[in-house]
Amino acid sequence: AQSVSQHNHHVILSEAASLELGCNYSYGGTVNLFWYVQYPGQHLQLLLKYFSGDPLVKGIKGFEAEFIKSKFSFNLRKPSVQWSDTAEYFCAVNIAPSGSARQLTFGSGTQLTVLP
């Protein structure tokens, strides 16, 4: 079975700092990768996803993530964070192929706090 590891449980940054959140997965086959964000009191929202193709994917709100197959990683980045980015971030994976809604395996989440 696949698993997802997020090594940073809580990250605190000042506004305008750069962000990188780590995500590693364990599965030898083809996977689809996701980053979800959960703002305080709100539901999970999809930030970005990777299915195939260019390993550098861009999502909403200036976020991007890079899939490095050899490292089984899908780290989330943002060059300059804002106070409004304060939220919980979840990395998730499911097993390809695409075409059907398959169950996701989530990492434990990273709480990002951005100080004004």
Partner 1 sequence: GAVVSQHPSRVICKSGTSVKIECRSLDFQATTMFWYRQFPKQSLMLMATSNEGSKATYEQGVEKDKFLINHASLTLSTLTVTSAHPEDSSFYICSAGGSGAKNIQYFGAGTRLSVL
Q: Lay out the site mask for partner 1 across 78-97 (x = CB under 8 A, - = otherwise).
A: ------------x---x-x-
CB of 31 to partner 1, least distance (A): 10
- Give CA–CA dist 112/114, Å, rounded: 6
Residue type, 7: H
The continuous run of DSSP H or E covering 112 comes out as strand 110-115
- Give CA–CA dist 110/22, Å, rounded: 9
Which is nearer to partner 1, 4 or 81 (by Cβ)? 4
Contact yes or no for 77/66 (Cβ under 8 A): yes
- Alpha-carbon dihedral of residues 44, 45, 47, 52, nearest 10 degrees? 90
Pick the binder of partner 1 from 12, 45, 61, 75 (CB under 8 A): 45
- Give CA–CA dist 23/47, Å, rounded: 14
Is 43 among the residues that bind partner 1 (CB under 8 A)? yes
Is 59 among the residues that bind partner 1 (CB under 8 A)? no
Among the listed ranges 11-19, 31-39, 65-73, 77-85, the one in contact with partner 1 (CB under 8 A) is 31-39
Is 77 among the residues that bind partner 1 (CB under 8 A)? no
Q: Give residues in contact with partner 1 (CB under 8 A).
A: 32, 34, 36, 42-46, 49, 51, 90, 94, 96, 98-109
